Structure 1
C-alpha cells in the first residue's frame, strides 16, 4: 500500500475511534429526548397520568414477532369500555411516522388505538427483510384486530380501521372478510398491486409481462438464497436538484418526507423484488363489493394518486353508507403532516367513527 493510502486508512481509523467515543452519549441523549422514536409533530415524549399514553407491545403473528404501539386515551381505565381503531402504515413507512400521528390523534378523541410495523419491515421480525406481499400485509391488519380486541378496556364490538397510503389498500382488502371492523376509513389510498403492475398513473402498461418475468427471476434467486431489492434509495446521496426533477408529486414529496423531514431509521423505500410476483397479480379493488360496513375514503384534492381512491370508491358498491372526502388543496404526502390538512382529516374521522363506533 502506498503512503497516501496508509495515511487515509489511519485517518479513517482515528475518525472511527473518535466517532465511537461520542456515539453512546449522543444516542443516549437522543433516546432521552425521543424515547419512543416518534418523528411526527406533537409526539408523546413521556407518559403522564391524565394524558394520552403510548405502550410499546409485541405479539406473535404467523410465527413472526410483531412490534406495535398501543395508544390509550387520557384518563384511561381498564374498568371502562372504549372503542378502538387499528391504523395501518404506508408502504415503506413505520409506526413512528404518519400512522403514529393518527393513532395519537384518535386516542385524543377517546379511542384505544394500535399501529404496528408490518411483518418483515420496521422493528417487526420476518425474513427476508422488506418483503411486501399482500397476504402478509393484510394479515398485519387482521393481527392488529386480534390484539386490540382483547386489550383491557376495549369493546370488541366497536372496532374500526384506518389505512394510510399502501396501508389503505391493504385495509380495504382486510375489510372484505374481517367483519370485526364496524367502520373503515382510508387516507390517500394507494393500490400497491395496481401500481406495481401498471406503473404509477398507468405509465408502464407496455412492459407488464417483461417485469413479471424479472419478478419471477427474482423469486427464483430468493429461493436460492440471494435476495435482490427494488426501490433502493440512498437518502444521504439524494440532492435537492435530483428531488426537484422527480415529475410526480407523490414521489417527489415522498423523498422529502421519508428522507428528510420525517426520516426514521426503520423506514425504507426498498422491497424484496421477489414480492412483485404476488404484488403484480393482486389488486386492492378486486372483490371490494364485499365491504358492507360504513366506508370513508379521504384523499387530497390535488393528489396525483387520487385516481386510485376514486376507482375504489366507485367500485365499493356493497355498502350504502360511504363517503368520499377530498381534502382541499392537499397533495398525497401533505395529507400526512401539514397541520391544516391533518386537522380537517381528524375532524372528519371524529364525525365518521363517532357516529358508527
Structure 2
C-alpha cells in the first residue's frame, strides 16, 4: 500500500481531507509541532507558543508554554499542566490539547519527560514512574511562577500514560485543584500483566530480563531496550489490538516526530512492573474527570481507576461515543468534544 493511499484511506475513515492529515508533518512547522491546526507563527491577539527550558533535579527540561490570545502578563489565568503519552513528546497530542485549551483562555504547559524527547538525561528513553511523576510536579513548579499564572487555579491533564502518572501525582500534590485524564493508560499494569492482561504467565521471565539488563548497565555494558520495533504494514495490520495498530499509524506516519519513540530501557521494567496508577488513588480528593472512547480497547483501565477513586465525591467518567484510544489524540470531532468537556470541567472546578 502506498503512503499516499494510506493517508487518503485513513482520512476517509474519519471524514477529513487527506491534506489535513499531511499538514501534521513536523518538518513544515517552525516549532516542529506535529498536529493539525498547530501554531505556525506567533501573532498579536492570538494564542502564542513559547518554547522554554528549566532545570529539574539537575536535568534540562524542554517545554512549550501556550499563552491565550491577548495575553496580559499581569493577568491571573487558570493554568493547566499537560502530561504526554508514553513514547510521545510535547509536539504531538499533548501540544494539541495544550493549544486547544489556550484557545479557550487557559495558560498551559507541556514538557518532554526527563530522559526523553528534547529533555536531558542519560541513558536515553528511561521510563521510570517516579521520574514521570516528578516531571509533572516539575511542570507545576515552573508554570505556577510564570507571569500571568494563577497558582490557586491549577489544573492537571494527563493523556494515555501521562494520565496514569497524573493520577499518581495528584494523589499527593494538592496544588492541583482539578484532575482530568484522556484515554488513561496504566503503565505499570500493562508492563506487568501485558495489554488487556494478556501476559500474566510471563511476568517472572520478564522481571529476570529486566534484572539482567540492569546488571549489564551497571557493569558498563550496552543499554538494553524494549518496545523498539520496525514493523511492516502487514505486520502492523496483524497486531491484536487497535491501540497498537493505530498507534503505529499515528506515531510513525501521520503525526511522527523524530524525538518520539516506542522504546524504553529494559531496566525500567524493574520500576514499572511494581507500579500501578491506582495505588493509593483514594488520596485524590480533588474533582476528577476521566475521558475515554467507547471503542477503546484501553477503556478497562479508565473504568478500573474510576471505580477505585473513592476519595473524591466529585468525579465523572465521560465516554466519547465511537472513539478508539488513538482517535482521541487527533480526530477533530473527538478532540473537540473532549476539549468542550474539559473546559466545562475546569471552568467549574478552577
Same fold, judged at TM 0.5 (above): yes
Partner residue of 1:322?
A: 315
Partner residue of 2:182?
A: 187
1:319 alignment partner, SS class: coil
Partner residue of 2:53?
A: 58
Cα RMSD for the two superposed structures: 1.0
Partner residue of 1:345?
A: 338
Which of 106, 109, 113 lines up with 1:114 in the alignment?
Answer: 109
1:156 alignment partner, SS class: strand
**Superposition deviation, residue 79 in structure 1:** 1.3
Partner residue of 2:265?
A: 272
Partner residue of 2:73?
A: 78
- The answer on whether the counterparts of 2:26 and 2:257 sit within 8 Å (CA) in structure 1 is no
Which deviates more from structure 2 when the two are superposed, residues 212-221 or residues 112-121?
Answer: 212-221
Which of 197, 216, 219 lines up with 1:221 in the alignment?
Answer: 216
Gap change, CA 1:34 and 1:205, over 3 Å in 2? same
How far apart, CA to CA, are the structure 1 residues paired with 2:135 and 2:184?
A: 17
Which of 45, 48, 55 lines up with 2:43 in the alignment?
Answer: 48
**Superposition deviation, residue 240 in structure 1:** 2.0
Which of 136, 149, 155 lines up with 2:150 in the alignment?
Answer: 155
Map 1:285-300 to 2 at 5 A. Answer: 285-300=278-293
How far apart, CA to CA, are the structure 2 residues paired with 1:223 and 1:333?
A: 37
**Superposition deviation, residue 239 in structure 1:** 2.5
Cα deviations by residue, 1:56-90 (Å, 9 ceiling, x for unpaired): 00000011100000000000011111010000000
Unaligned runs of 5+ in 1: 1-29
**Superposition deviation, residue 241 in structure 1:** 1.5
Partner residue of 2:14?
A: none
Which of 226, 232, 243 lines up with 1:230 in the alignment?
Answer: 226
Partner residue of 1:6?
A: none
**Normalised TM-score (structure 1):** 0.90
**Superposition deviation, residue 32 in structure 1:** 8.6
Establish whether residue 145 from structure 1 lines up as the match of residue 134 from structure 2.
Answer: no
How far apart, CA to CA, are the structure 1 residues paired with 2:48 and 2:268?
A: 36
How far apart, CA to CA, are the structure 1 residues paired with 2:33 and 2:219?
A: 37
Partner residue of 2:329?
A: 336
Unaligned runs of 5+ in 2: 1-24
How far apart, CA to CA, are the structure 2 residues paired with 1:32 and 1:296?
A: 34
Structure with higher Rg: it is 1
How far apart, CA to CA, are the structure 1 residues paired with 2:219 and 2:293?
A: 43
**Consecutive aligned runs of 4 or more in structure 1 exceeding 3 Å deviation:** 30-33
Partner residue of 1:253?
A: 246
Partner residue of 2:207?
A: 212
Which of 172, 181, 194 lines up with 1:199 in the alignment?
Answer: 194
**Normalised TM-score (structure 2):** 0.92
Establish whether residue 170 from structure 1 lines up as the match of residue 165 from structure 2.
Answer: yes
**Superposition deviation, residue 275 in structure 1:** 0.2
2:156 alignment partner, SS class: strand
Cα deviations by residue, 1:282-324 (Å, 9 ceiling, x for unpaired): 1110100000000000001000000000000000000000000
2:81 alignment partner, SS class: strand
Cα deviations by residue, 1:91-149 (Å, 9 ceiling, x for unpaired): 00000000000000000011100000000000000011000001000000000000000
**Superposition deviation, residue 31 in structure 1:** 8.6
How far apart, CA to CA, are the structure 1 residues paired with 2:63 and 2:218?
A: 29
Partner residue of 2:3?
A: none
Partner residue of 1:88?
A: 83
- The answer on whether the counterparts of 2:156 and 2:179 sit within 8 Å (CA) in structure 1 is yes
